[in-house]
């Protein structure tokens, strides 16, 4: 499980781990955005919260997670990206895994200060077609405003402006941070300095998983 504030690099590292270990990534953010795009009942409800820069309520998340973990693709392992985000979600996950006779083996905290988080997210640009992500300063596209992968026009997500980012970071500090103490007694929590480059962060994570 990868834990960290919005913009700490969870998605980037999750994708690298998927490639290395050939196990699927489960990102509630991606699942919810797809539901919004498809205009499902869950998506429409979630959109109201996300547009306000708020976390989606737990009761809209847990059922979706249970369905995904029961799929065949998730039977040989998985990477949780940005879930659980709250203490009730962490407790719900523990109960779900016990029921499914599965075990969470690592919780990795990507530690990045608030000022750096705001800079990372506000400069982020996403491709609505293929999902690729660029940054205006750190990883700009070869052609300004155009996705390197598929050539579509890059956009700034509606919840990636500074005001909403600060709201989300505040929610992370007050809610998501409580997830770490919940798992600490089991001895599976490790902290990684998320201010490092993506390669350094990935090496640190691999060292934890294989050390």
- Strand, coil or helix: 11: helix
Catalytic residue flag (residue 10): yes
Which range of residues forms the domain containing residue 90? 2-113+160-210
Do 150 and 180 share a domain, yes or no? no
58 with 153, same domain? no
**What length is written for the chain?**
211
What is d(CA 16, CA 22) in angstroms, rounded to the nearest whole number? 10
Catalytic residue among 85, 120, 125, 164: 85
Q: Which residue has the tokens 């750190």?
A: 138
One digit per residue, the tens of pLDDT, for the chain of length 211 reads: 999 888 898 988 999 999 999 999 998 877 788 778 888 887 888 888 888 888 788 888 887 788 788 889 999 999 998 789 888 999 999 999 999 999 999 999 999 988 888 888 899 999 999 989 899 988 899 999 999 999 999 999 888 888 888 888 888 888 777 899 999 999 999 999 999 988 999 999 999 999 8
* Alpha carbon distance 37, 56 (integer Å): 16
Strand pairing partners for 193?
111
User: Active-site residue 39, yes or no?
Assistant: no
Residue 94 and residue 143 in one domain: no
Are 208 and 106 within 8 A, CB to CB?
Answer: yes
Q: Could you say which of 16, 120, 124, 164 is catalytic?
A: 124
State yes or no: is 102 an active-site residue.
Answer: no
| 88 and 134 both lie in a single domain | no
Q: Give the whole-angstrom CA distance, residue 42 versus residue 77.
A: 26
Give yes or no: residues 128 and 200 share one domain.
no
Domains contained in the chain, number:
2
Whole-model pTM: value is 0.76
Q: Are residues 139 and 109 in the same domain?
A: no
Q: Is 85 a catalytic residue?
A: yes
């Amino acid at each position: 499980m990868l834990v960290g504030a919005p913009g700490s690099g969870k998605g980037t590292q999750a994708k690298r781990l998927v490639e290395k270990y050939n196990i699927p990534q489960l990102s509630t953010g991606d699942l919810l955005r797809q539901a919004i795009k498809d205009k499902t009942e869950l998506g429409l409800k979630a959109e109201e919260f996300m547009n306000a820069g708020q976390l989606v309520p737990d009761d809209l998340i847990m059922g979706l997670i249970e369905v995904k973990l029961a799929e065949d693709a998730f039977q040989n392992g998985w990477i949780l990206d940005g879930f659980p985000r709250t203490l009730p979600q962490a407790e719900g996950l523990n109960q779900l895994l016990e029921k499914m006779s599965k075990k969470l083996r690592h919780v990795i905290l990507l530690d990045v200060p608030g000022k750096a988080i705001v800079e990372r997210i506000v400069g982020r640009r996403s491709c609505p077609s293929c999902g690729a992500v660029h940054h205006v300063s750190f990883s700009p596209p070869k052609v300004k405003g155009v996705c390197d992968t598929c050539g579509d026009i890059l956009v700034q997500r509606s919840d990636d402006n500074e005001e909403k980012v600060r709201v989300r970071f505040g929610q992370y500090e007050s809610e998501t941070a409580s997830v770490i103490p919940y798992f600490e007694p089991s001895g599976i929590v490790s902290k990684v300095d998320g201010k490092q480059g993506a390669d350094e962060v990935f090496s640190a994570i691999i060292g934890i998983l294989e050390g």
